Structure 1
Amino acid sequence: MAWNEPGSGKQRDPWKDNGGGKNDLDDAIQRIKGAFGRLFGGGGGAPGAGRNGGGVLLAIIGLLIAWVLFDSWVQVNAGKEAVVLRFGEYSRTMPPGFNLKWPRPIESASEVNVQEVRNISDTVRMLTRDENIVQVEFNVQYEVADSTLFLYATRDPDQTLKQAAESAVREVIGTSKLDAIMPDQRVEPLEGEKPVANPSAELAQQAKKVLQQTLERYHAGLQVNDLNFQNVRPPQEVKDSFDDAISAREDRQRASNVADAYAKRVVPEARGEAARILAEAQGYKAERIAKAEGDAQRFDLIASQYRAAPEVTRKRLYLETMQQVVSGTPKIIDFTGGKNLLQIPVPAAGPPPPSADAAAAMSAAESDKGGR
């Protein structure tokens, strides 16, 4: 029959014997207390001493239970990881969420934010390859790639990254000339150089690559997301000299622009004038050739007419020549009654020279007179 079955006549306690005597659980606890009392407080002694030893033992057991309960689990927040060490040696990495572990000092857990984007900024002075001093302000953005290496590979990973970043920037700047770092400060142009859209960005990418390689050699557990040069300028001590150089470069550029504008205006005019003169010369050449050919043909015709009628042709040529000569002379004085004419040229007007036809006709007439 069950201990609490109805109709049994009385309520029975399961922790007591059937006879309603001594409590079994209390007896068991008392036996455990006695055993631990003998263990920690000696085998014999007063009953009060045994009870005191049992209270200390219970306190110790409670502390052990609380220690196990409250130090055997870890709640890892989102975006973080927990690195677990067992007796100081790496054991595992806990993901975000509720995780169990052995209580300390057996196992310990250290959380690391692996999604936080960290950044550092610094300003350094350094020498370029052509021994010029520049002041560079740079910024590095990075995040944790390996939480274990981040915690235990280096003493101070953030300081390690800062020093490695400065070293990478010095390496890139030290192997570049000032004209390539600051093209706006350039005084003399570089022949055959290809223009770069953003030289600072290109140098920053080179420095980022060098920095990442350095961190991988150090096993720092960091990933560089971005490195950029916020400002690259000459130091304050030499800023006036750079400003003078920039002013000189701007003056030279201004003079060059004025010269280019003048050349663009004058050269087309000169080319047009040269083309006009050449066209006039070619026209004059064609005119003289055509006139010479016409005079030659006319002379051939006159010669053929002269051979057919010498007297008539000679007289006609003489009259035509005299008409041409006299028509251009302002004054003519006749001293012989029409037999001879005296020409008096006037310097102001000046008679035109005889044409080629007249000269040829007169030459032919004189030769004909001599022949007769």
Structure 2
Amino acid sequence: MEDALRRLRERFGNLFGGGGGNGGGSGGILVAVVAILLAWLILDSWSVINARDVGVVQRFGKKTRIMSPGFNLKWPRPIETVTKVKIKDVRLLADSVRMLTMDENIVSIDFNVQYQVSDAEKFLFRVKDVDSETVKQAAESAVRQVIGGSAMDTILSGQGAELVAETKKVLQATLDSYDAGVAVTEVNFQSVAPPHEVKDAFDDVTNARENKQQTENEAQAYANKVVPEARGEAARIKAQAEGYRAERIARAEGDADRFNQLVAQYKAAPEVTRRRLYLETMQQVLRDSVKVIDSSNGRSLINLPVDKLAPGAGVLVQNPDETTRAARGGQQ
């Protein structure tokens, strides 16, 4: 490198410092200038774009085309200039904010945003300082909007995935409204916690919330056990009631049918029907009696059913008083 610089200085010294006639010096200067211009034109008439980049070509300051990765020809400067933009690299922005929640509690959040360039032209020309300012301000605004619209219990209760998704959606919508040419790939909440000044109080709240959840789980488990049992008992009682209802209806219908038949028989033969009903009733009543009193001949005669008396008590007594005592002894 030093030798090349020394030879270049010697060449320019020969060109501008004499050494020969005027004609020879002027000719040497012209040749040197032409050689330099040719070398510059050759070197500046093509551009190499890496595989992860694109090149934005500007002709006299106006964007004309996008260069793809590889070797690309162009007009030398200052006619055309090429700005290389890394479109496949994931860029990272890390930040932290402290803000008020919807229920006026303070929370500190450490977060990061990963994004890529989706449109090189918009990234370069639509918004100023996209990397340093635009994405940062838009991210802080999105986090404040989402967290500011959520309660502290929601933020600290394990619903971070929903909040992150909403933050990413709001951030992308904001950048799209700016035509920033940026695609948000991921948003992460690295730390979400109350400030140190009030951490003890929030720990107490968290413990109370956990106790509440445990109590609710125990109550739900008890309900899961008791409710099916109660439903089964209710179903059993209902089935019994339905059976009793059906039985009573059937019995009532049977009694009604028998009564209707008796009415028809009574209309056909009243005396016979009355006599038969009397005999059937007396038969049913006397069948379960333990003593029968016959007073048809003017004196009381008590007949005791021997087969229903206790052993040793089945003696027929003509004396009413003794018969009564014997019957009482048999019933005991």
**Does the pair score TM above 0.5?**
yes
Question: Residue 148 of structure 1: CA displacement?
Answer: 1.7
Matched, 1:119 2:92: yes
Q: Is the 8 A contact 2:292 2:302 kept in 1?
A: no
Q: Is the 8 A contact 1:82 1:94 kept in 2?
A: yes
Question: Between the two proteins, what is the percent identity of the paired residues?
Answer: 47
Alpha-carbon spacing, 1:213–1:318, altered in 2? closer, same or farther (3 Å): same
CA distance in 2, matches of 1:238, 1:94: 55
The one of 281, 304, 310 aligned to 2:300? 310
Question: Residue 164 of structure 1: CA displacement?
Answer: 0.5
Report which stretch shifted further, 94-103 or 231-240. Answer: 231-240
Question: Residue 79 of structure 1: CA displacement?
Answer: 2.0
Q: Deviations over 1:41-77 (max 9, x none)?
A: xxxxxx8122212211211111111111111111111
CA distance in 2, matches of 1:259, 1:113: 58
Question: Residue 109 of structure 1: CA displacement?
Answer: 0.8
The one-letter code sitting in structure 1 at the alignment partner of 2:138 is A
Residue matched to 1:48: 21
Report SS of the residue matched to 1:305.
strand
CA distance in 2, matches of 1:173, 1:238: 18
CA distance in 2, matches of 1:310, 1:256: 80
Residue matched to 1:170: 144
Matched, 1:86 2:86: no
CA distance in 2, matches of 1:91, 1:60: 31
Please show how residues 328-343 of structure 1 align to structure 2 within 5 Å: none
CA distance in 1, matches of 2:323, 2:95: 110
Alpha-carbon spacing, 1:209–1:246, altered in 2? closer, same or farther (3 Å): closer
The one of 165, 174, 177 aligned to 1:217? 177
The one of 129, 153, 163 aligned to 1:179? 153
Unmatched 5+ residue regions in structure 2? 1-19, 241-283, 304-319
Q: Is the 8 A contact 1:82 1:109 kept in 2?
A: yes
Supply the RMSD in Å over aligned alpha carbons.
Answer: 3.4
Q: Is the 8 A contact 1:120 1:140 kept in 2?
A: yes
Residue matched to 1:154: 127
Report SS of the residue matched to 1:301.
coil
The one-letter code sitting in structure 1 at the alignment partner of 2:25 is N
CA distance in 1, matches of 2:199, 2:180: 39
Q: Deviations over 1:248-289 (max 9, x none)?
A: 233445556667778868x979x99xx9xxx9xxxxxxxxxx
Report SS of the residue matched to 2:206.
helix
Larger-Rg structure: 1
Report SS of the residue matched to 2:293.
helix
Question: Residue 111 of structure 1: CA displacement?
Answer: 0.8
Alpha-carbon spacing, 1:176–1:256, altered in 2? closer, same or farther (3 Å): closer
Residue matched to 2:165: 205
Residue matched to 1:321: 328
Alpha-carbon spacing, 1:124–1:297, altered in 2? closer, same or farther (3 Å): farther
Residue matched to 2:42: 69
CA distance in 1, matches of 2:199, 2:138: 28
Matched, 1:238 2:228: no
Alpha-carbon spacing, 1:147–1:202, altered in 2? closer, same or farther (3 Å): same
Report SS of the residue matched to 1:181.
helix
Q: Is the 8 A contact 1:201 1:229 kept in 2?
A: no
CA distance in 1, matches of 2:216, 2:178: 53
Q: Is the 8 A contact 1:201 1:228 kept in 2?
A: no
Residue matched to 2:252: none
